[in-house]
Structure 1
Amino acid sequence: MIRVSCKEESYLYNAYHMVKAFFPEEEVVSLAEEKASHFARADFPDGSSLVLDACETGEDPGSRRETDRRWYRMLSRRTGKILSWGILLGVRPTKLAMQKRMEGWEAGAFLDWFQKEYLVSEEKAKLAWEIAGREAKILEKLDLENGYSLYIGIPFCPTVCSYCSFSSGALSDWQDRVDDYLDALCLELGFLADRFGDKKLDAVYIGGGTPTSLSASQMERLLSFVDERFDRSGLLEYTVEAGRPDTITEEKLQVLKKYGVTRISINPQTMQQKTLDLVGRRHTVQDTVEVFRMARRLGFDNINMDLIAGLPGEGPEEMQDTLRQIEALAPDSLTVHALAIKRAAKMGQEERKARMGSEIGAMIREAALGAERMGLKPYYLYRQKNIAGNFENVGYAKVDNAGIYNILIMEEKQTILAAGAGASSKLVLKEEVKAPGSRKGKMTKFLRIENVKAIDAYISRIDEMIERKGEWLWH
């Protein structure tokens, strides 16, 4: 166990997460010690320590980045590692590139500044700049102020994969409550439709869980309700994350087609059968191939596929073979995730140790090369805490097939209304308000409103979920 302590509680987050990035396989605990002589300190199991003296830091906020750089360099010297994203801890590195583009910066100036200021590698700096450029072109097409997007969460899966920590439950455990869930969901959706009836709906994204865990009739019920209550006349994108091939049938795909769904995801995560068996994905590689071809026959011309780099027992060779099989299918977009193990996941610490470092980096590079061969360009990027090797998740797409909703969720420039268990609405307000829970009177124009994650709690407390949103949706 590594013990991280800081003189200032405000720096504890940075100190902890940077240590965690360099030592992802270790348990790390943190605490504030106001009377400590040091500013930040890490004590290791072998009795050694790293100490950042208080005199090496400045008092003003502008010096805090230099503190980050000092702390990073100490950790880098100890481990011999260099993190591709340097001192950046946030999940949206492209927001910095987008900001500088809006300020009129040229590529050379940004790349130089980004590398020096945040110790980001040249490769990642170029990636951030390239993606920000593609995002900017898509955002130009949207009325960010008068438009909005809609997320609908379906928290059911046929089984829960061992690496997963999303708010989802095995369908077998909830079979008798799915209709009750849809009752509650439609109540919330009806409320949102009434409140935003004068706004333009740009994108709808139905995610989960696995939305196609619903039966065809249940899917029809949901999509017909959306059709009745929301104006889709100006809709630019309608996505359903079909997800696992073992939940997809021709009847369900026909329902999606009937209601104008334009984009679906068929997510194998890997095309290695031994891995699918190991992580609890109860479908075969051949199932993925057959379902993909079925969707093409039915006319779906914007299909995404998800892959995960770093699943147990896999390395660059397995990624190469998976990409070879994916290339034969020629999806319209490909999303590549670096494995992230969170507290809720079943996969243990030992498996994490095997997946860290250069091997996952090699798998991500293979995926980037595979995407390039398929004519897919990177268009959005995000990171997660405790992500394997401190890497990132990247979406690649053909021209005109980039996921609009994915860009909006990253850039936070437009209101996204979210319904369902665990769903998080993100409101962009016209005027600043006091940030909820802020003791210092912080003002903000961006609010998050979270729904409860537990499925049974969402059903029983749906009136409360609606009431939570009610106050803010008048702004």
Structure 2
Amino acid sequence: MIQVICKRDTYTYNAYHVIKAFYPSEEIHCRVEEKASNYVMVQLADGQKVEIFDDTDSAAEEMEKKELDRILYQKLAKITGRTLAWGILTGVRPTKLAMQKLEAGWDYETYLSWFQSEMKVSKEKAALAWEIAGREKQLLDRLDYENGYSLYVGIPFCPSVCTYCSFSSGALSDWKDRVEEYVDALCKELIFIAERSKDKKLNTIYIGGGTPTTLSAEQLERLLACIDQNFSREFLLEYTVEAGRPDSVTKEKLEVLKRHGITRISINPQSMQQKTLDAIGRKHTVEEIYETFHLAREIGFDNINMDLIAGLPGETNEEMEDTLRQIESLAPDSLTVHSLAIKRAAKMEQKDLGEDGGKLAECLGQMIHAASESADRMGLFPYYLYRQKNIAGNFENVGYAKVDKAGIYNILIMEEKQSIVAAGAGASTKIVLKEPVPSGRGNQKLTRLMRIENVKAIDAYIDRIDEMIERKGEWLWR
């Protein structure tokens, strides 16, 4: 266990996540001692100490935090003998920072120097963030931020729950008697959203989960017909459905999707190694991935994404490279490569990653590099990037796509420039406001992004759908 003592409560969050990036499998315990002589003191599991002395009375707390991050990072880098690809960045979206500098008129060299010195980011990752920000800007410039919006529809059921998953989804077998009620509630919420949004321009629709194709063909038909009947497609640029699990997909369901004009689907193996699929709780075979992909092509889908996860327990670099070779043989239109992230709601735990954080980071770095080279061989370019807490090795998730097949919704969810209205259990609506309002977090900060969360529990969503609608009505297009 690693013990952390902070002089101020406001720094415990930063300290925890910087340390966790270096020691992903270690348990970290933080406490506050206002009378401590050190601003931060870290007692490592091997007995070594890291101390940062409080030699300033500065009231500029945000600047102070960043400087503390840099000092702590440098001390841990010296002890461990390694650096982190994304430096001191923990919860920040790197491309958002790059986009801000791009829009402010910075040139590449000025940005690169700033990102490396201030954030301790490697030159390779800084360059990647800049490249992706440029592609994002080209796509987003097509959108009307003020009058446009995107729609997310959540289906919180899966054939089985993967061990790494932290989403608010449940096994279909546990909810089969209430799926019809869920679709009823979902359609009710969608009809309300459509009525309130009739003067807005709908740019993208994304049906995710969970696994949307756990719905029967009849239930999918009912849901998609509801969307067709209530939302205009006049300004629609993209319509995505995650057909993520091959064991949930049938020819009949794919035909329903095609009939309703879905332009993009996602078939997500996560790995092409059978032993890994079995270990993480995915109840399908590698052969079923091939069969589902070829079936989708036969039916006419010309924009298919595939997701992979780098760093799944037990996988070697050689097995990742074999997975990539198999993906290349299928030639998807886009590929999203996730670095494994273990969250509290997942069955998998941090200890399952192993004890050697340095070895894990090296292995994961090699996997991510191999994925980048594979994407390049397929003619896919990086177009969006995001990071999240507890990513093994402090790496990132990157989406690669053919020039005309990038997922616009994926960029929007990261950049937060356009409102995304979300329906379903656990769905999070993000309304971009014209004028800032108090954040409501007990401080004086203002925000232009209002989040409206639906309840996560499936039964609560069904039973409280009128409350979910009323909650949205307070903020939707004020």
TM-score over 0.5 (shorter chain): yes
Structure 1 residues not aligned, in runs of 5+: none
CA distance in structure 2 between the partners assigned to 1:42 and 1:33 by the alignment: 13
The answer to whether the 8 A contact 2:430-2:452 is kept is yes
1:445 aligns with 2:445: no
3-state SS of the aligned residue for 1:472? Answer: coil
Shifted more, 90-99 versus 52-61: the winner is 52-61
State whether residues 57 and 67 of structure 1, in contact with CA within 8 Å, keep that contact through their aligned partners in structure 2: no
Identity, % of aligned positions: 66
Q: TM-score with structure 2 length normalisation?
A: 0.97
Q: Could you tell me whether the CA contact under 8 Å between 2:24 and 2:350 is conserved in 1?
A: no
Instruction: Report the 3-state secondary structure (helix = DSSP H, G, I; strand = E; otherwise coil) of the residue aligned with 1:344.
Output: coil
Greater shift, 9-18 or 302-311, is seen at 9-18
How far the C-alpha of 1:6 sits from its partner, in A, is 1.2
Aligned equivalent of 1:434? 438
Question: Residues 3 and 29 of structure 1 are in contact (CA less than 8 Å); yes or no, is this contact kept in structure 2?
Answer: yes
Supply the distance in 2 between the matched residues of 1:177 and 1:91 (Cα, whole angstroms): 38
Q: What amino acid is aligned across from residue 416 of structure 1 in structure 2?
A: I
Map residues 5-154 of structure 1 onto 2, 5 A cutoff. Answer: 5-55=5-55, 58-60=58-60, 61-154=62-155
Gaps of 5+ in 2: none
Distance 1:4 1:284 in 2: 45
Asked if 1:312 is matched to 2:313, the reply is yes
Aligned-pair distance for 1:28?
Answer: 0.9
Match of 2:393 among 389, 393, 396: 389
Q: Please give the secondary structure, in 2, of the residue aligned with 1:341.
A: coil
Residues 303 and 333, structure 1, Cα contact 8 Å, conserved in 2: yes
Aligned to 1:466: 469
Aligned length: 474
| Larger CA deviation: 312-321 vs 41-50 | 41-50
Query: Any idea what SS the aligned residue of 2:302 has?
Result: coil
CA distance in 2, matches of 1:32, 1:448: 30
Give 1:63 deviation, angstroms: 3.9
CA distance, structure 2, for counterparts of residue 102 and residue 316 of structure 1: 38
- Alpha carbons of 1:72 and 1:58: their partners in 2 closer, same or farther (altered >3 Å)? farther
1:56 CA displacement? 6.1
Q: 1:22 to 1:57 in 2, by over 3 A?
A: farther
Checking the alignment, whether the CA contact within 8 Å between 1:315 and 1:360 is kept in structure 2 is no
Q: CA–CA distance in 1 between the matches of 2:445 and 2:346?
A: 35
Assess if the C-alpha contact under 8 Å between 1:416 and 1:425 holds in 2. yes
Give secondary structure in 1 for the equivalent of 2:437.
strand
Q: Conserved in 1, the CA contact under 8 Å of 2:150 and 2:420?
A: yes
- Give the 3-state SS of the residue equivalent to 1:308 in structure 2: strand
Counterpart of 1:198, as a letter, is D
State whether residues 246 and 292 of structure 2, in contact with CA within 8 Å, keep that contact through their aligned partners in structure 1: yes
Contact 1:146–1:200 (CA<8 Å) still a contact in 2? yes
Q: Please give the residue correspondences for 1:309-458 in structure 2 after superposition, counting only pairs within 5 Å.
A: 309-353=310-354, 356-435=360-439, 437-458=440-461
Equivalent residues of 2:16, 2:28 under 8 A apart: yes
Q: Secondary structure at the match of 1:429?
A: strand
Following superposition, the deviation at residue 47 of structure 1 comes to 3.7
**Preserved contact between residue 341 and residue 388 of structure 2 (Cα < 8 Å):** yes
Relative to the length of structure 1, the TM-score reads 0.98
> Which deviates the most, 8-17 or 379-388?
8-17
In 1: Cα distance, 2:349 partner to 2:26 partner? 12
Do 2:157 and 2:170's aligned partners in 1 also have CA atoms closer than 8 Å? Answer: yes
Q: Distance in 2 between matches of 1:62 and 1:308?
A: 35
> How many Å apart are 1:62 and its aligned residue?
2.9
**Secondary structure in structure 2 of the residue aligned to 1:176:** coil
**Aligned equivalents of 2:244, 2:26: Cα separation in 1:** 32
34-43 or 232-241, which deviates more: 34-43
Q: Displacement of 1:180 after TM fit?
A: 0.8
